[in-house]
A and B are shown apart, each in its own frame.
Chain A
Amino acid sequence: MKEDLSKTIEGSFHIVGGDFIRAGEASTALKKQLIDLGIEEETIRKVSIATFEAEMNIIIYATAGIIRYTITPEEITIIAEDMGPGIEDIELAMQEGYSTAPDWVREMGWGAGMGLPNMKKNSDIFRIESVVGEGTTVEMVIRRKKDDHSRNSREA
Chain B
Amino acid sequence: MTIAEIAERLNLTPVTGEEYLHREVSDGYVSDLLSDVMANAKKDCIWITLQTHENTVAVAVLKEIAAVVIVNGRKPSDVTIEKATEQKVPILLTSRTAFEIAGMLYQLLHAEEIQS
Contact = CB atoms under 8 A, between A and B. Distances in A.
A: interface residue count bin: under 10
Contacts of A99: 53
Interface string B61-105: 000000000000011000000000000000000000000000000
Interface string B38-60: 00000000000011110100000
B52 A107 contact: no
Contacts of B74: 96-97
Contact of B34 (A96, A97, A106): A106
A109 B55 contact: no
B96 to A, nearest CB: 16
B32 A112 contact: yes
Interface in A112-143: 112
B1 interface: no
Contacts of B75: 97
B50 A106 contact: no
A112 B50 contact: yes
Contacts of B55: 103
B35 interface: yes
Contacts of B35: 107
Given A97-B74, A97-B75, A103-B55, A109 B34 contact: no
B33 A107 contact: yes
A99 B55 CA distance: 13
Given A97-B74, A97-B75, A107 B34 contact: yes
Contacts of A97: 52, 74-75
A106 B52 contact: no
Interface of B: 32-35, 50-53, 55, 74-75
Return the 6 tightest CB-CB contacts between A and B, nearest first: A97-B74, A107-B35, A97-B52, A107-B33, A112-B50, A103-B55
Given A97-B52, A106-B32, A107-B33, 12 more contacts: A96-B74, A97-B74, A97-B75, A103-B55, A106-B33, A106-B34, A106-B51, A106-B53, A107-B34, A107-B35, A112-B32, A112-B50
